[in-house]
Structure formats: structure tokens, C-alpha cells
Structure 1
């Protein structure tokens, strides 16, 4: 990455060919139905310049949510009928969840699609936040909006593989903790894809 603009360096790496990712990557014994239907979704991977350099914006989901309560996630969600595509879905959800105006975002590119255990095919939309903004968490969904150093998540050595029982079987997954934030599961896997494309060992 260049010292002057590490976000530009990430943008330049996004075009590199890379395989799609999945919540099942570390669990090759899982047998997936070839006829399964996945629902399209988009998440925004917002990058911004902040204290000490480039940062990645993340959310801490509300503990009251039915799905994935209390987990660390990117702003985003499923593509609705009114969304032109998954990019539009990611931008709309980021506006709703953290108050990030679509006009304050420059889409830089995309990470490989990611299949989740919940049946979504997620497209991570990597974007630069153009001007400083004050996050406005959507109270029903987002407990906190925070950011972590881009350099932290671009270092492959920061990632660990952990495991826990899920629906009666042992499931392995990536984690990339930062301070009090336990980043794991699909979010960590997509960040690991970013590290694979643009990071360092």
C-alpha cells in the first residue's frame, strides 16, 4: 500500500481474480445441494481516512435482533424489489443503518461473492467515504458504529481459525479480533478475502 493513499492501493487490487468465498470454506465435509437457491444481498465495506490512517467502518448489531444478534457486521442486507442491484441495496442499507449518505460514497469495486449459512449470496461492495460524517445508528438494528485500522484487517497473520458447535456439528470459521470487538464468521471471512486480494502475509 502507498503511504499517501492506502485506500487507492486497495482499489487497485480489487480487480485481481479471486474465488468466491463461503461460510463453508473451512468445513469441506459439508455437502451443499446443487439446486439450492440463494437470495442476493449486498454489504458495504466502507473505507475512510481517520486517526492514524485508513479505517474500515463496521457495526455492532443489536442484541435484540432475531438474526445474528450482537454480532459484528458490515452495513447491508438483502436486495429488495426497489433496488436496481446489490450495489444499490448496500448503499440503501448503509444509509438506513448508519446514516451514510449515498452521495458521500465512491464505489471502488467488489470482493468475491460470499455464500452464507442463512442462504444469501452476498456481494461485498468496497467503497470510500468521501467526507467526514457522523454515524447515526438505526436504533432497532445497530447498537454501535465503530471503525478499525485497515492495516489490521489486511494482515493475514491477524486471522485465526476457531470452532464451535452449530446445529449439532462442529463449524470452523475465521476470526480477526480487534480490541473489545470479536469479529468472526461471514464478516471475518469477507475481510480475509480483502486481505488475500490487497493485504500482506
Structure 2
């Protein structure tokens, strides 16, 4: 695979530890009341169609300044802004089950130096040998949960998100084909679990929190609790953005 010259060399960053417990911070009211997506907008065929068309939409307004929308002029792929940030890619895996589409998440192991124990999508930083963000997302997914590219049907990409830890995290959306076997890398992944897409695409399950940092600044973040799992932060922001895209697509298609 050819090297991507647009990806800067990896830089070592200090570990950023949370100064607050994300599960105990106050929940504030969202700016607008949004409706759950109808069942028609939660089908694999509709989602694939939505990403194959030009949809007029807006990213999550709470984090409008934190989403990046640059595109590669040749491929049309959304690209992260690399100025001072570490580019990263995650795979947003959709899995067809009898009761509808589900989304696959992982829980990071507790001993990791970054985001230990947190819920996330498979993914990681884009390496020099990765051809593009899609190649990075597929590689990381294979390494972390054992799902190879031959079991993935690519659907599209969405804007990258600037994380508080210095990364631009860009999601690659795809459908995991039947017959896959999950084989987690136990050094990084403590658990692999699924959440119904219908649950995630219902804004009544989206909680907007406000945390006060030690220096007095306020930090906003979404959470989407599911059973005993606390999906929050950048991962929840990507899910929220996915909702906005599908909601706009459902009105336009």
C-alpha cells in the first residue's frame, strides 16, 4: 500500500487525564427538541442511498466549531485538518440483526494510558503507511476486533471531530457483512457489544452534560447511556452527527 504524504509523522503527546467524572456531571436541556428517526430511515438500503447522494445538512450545532469538513478534491473524501492535531480514523460499524441494524462498540481496557475503560468505535491514529482515512479505519478494525476488510461494505465518511486530547477523529461508515467473527485484541479491547441503531437515533436518549474544569472553563459533551455502558464524549458526538445526517436525508430523499 502506498504511503500517504499528507499524513504527518506521529508525535508523542502527554497523557491527558480527566479532571471530572463524566457520569456525574449535570445534564442540561438541549437547544432543540428533536424527533426519533422513523424506521424507514434506519434501514441499510436507505443509509447507503443517503451517503450516495448530496444531502444538505448541518453538523451538531453544539460542536459546530469542532467538526471539520474539508474534502479531498480528487476522491471527495472528508479530510481532517492536520494543523497541530493528530489525524485518526474510526469505523462506525453497522450490523444487520433480525430486529434491525445495530452499532458495534468496544470498551477499552483499563490499563491503557489513554481513554482507559471508555466506550469507543474501533480505530486509532492514521499511520504513514495508510493510504487514506478509510485504509486506516479498516486496518484498525481488523487489528482491534478481528473484522477484516472482506467483511465490510463501505458506505461513506463523515466530518472529523476535534477531540480534547488533540486528535481529529474521522468516522468511516460501513455495513459489516454476515459471517464475521469478532476476535478482540485483549491488550486494547476489554469488551465488544452492540446497541440497536433505533435506540441511538432517538434523541430522547441523548443527554447533554456540562462539566466545570479546574480552571473554571465549561466543557459540554453528550452521553447516550445503554444498560451499564456509558457512551459519551467524542464517540457520542459522532453518533449525534450521524443522527443529523440521516434526519436531513430522510426529509430530502
Q: TM-score range by the shorter chain?
A: 0.7 to 0.9
**What is the correspondence of 1:122-161 to structure 2 with a 5 Å cutoff?**
122-161=169-208
Q: 1:93 to 1:157 in 2, by over 3 A?
A: same
Question: Does the 8 Å contact 1:112/1:123 carry over to 2?
Answer: yes
The two structures, once aligned, show a CA RMSD in angstroms of 2.7
Map residues 50-199 of structure 1 onto 2, 5 A cutoff. 50-166=97-213, 168=215, 169-199=217-247
Give the 3 Å change call, closer, same or farther, for CA 96–35 of structure 1 in structure 2. Answer: closer
CA pair 154-139 structure 1, distance change in 2 beyond 3 A: same
1:32-81 residue CA offsets vs partner (Å, 9 max, x unmatched): xx995222211000101124211001001111110001110000011101
Is 1:6 aligned with 2:43? yes
**Gapped runs of 5+ residues in structure 1?**
29-33
Distance 2:133 2:50 in 1: 21
Report the equivalent of 2:5: none
| Structural mapping, 1:17-36, within 5 Å | 17-19=56-58, 25=63, 36=83
CA distance in 2, matches of 1:17, 1:67: 36
Residue aligning to 1:31: none
The 1:82–1:193 alpha-carbon spacing in structure 2 relative to 1, beyond 3 Å, is same
**After the TM superposition, which of the residue ranges 185-194 and 130-139 deviates more from structure 2?**
130-139
CA shift at 1:156, angstroms? 2.1
**Alignment CA distance shift 1:18-1:49 (3 Å):** same
Higher-Rg member (1/2):
2
| CA shift in 2, pair 1:35/1:47, >3 Å | closer
TM-score (norm 1): 0.86
Distance in 1 between the 2:121 and 2:82 partners? 28
- Count of aligned pairs between the two proteins: 194
8 Å contact from structure 2 (residues 42, 198) kept in 1: no
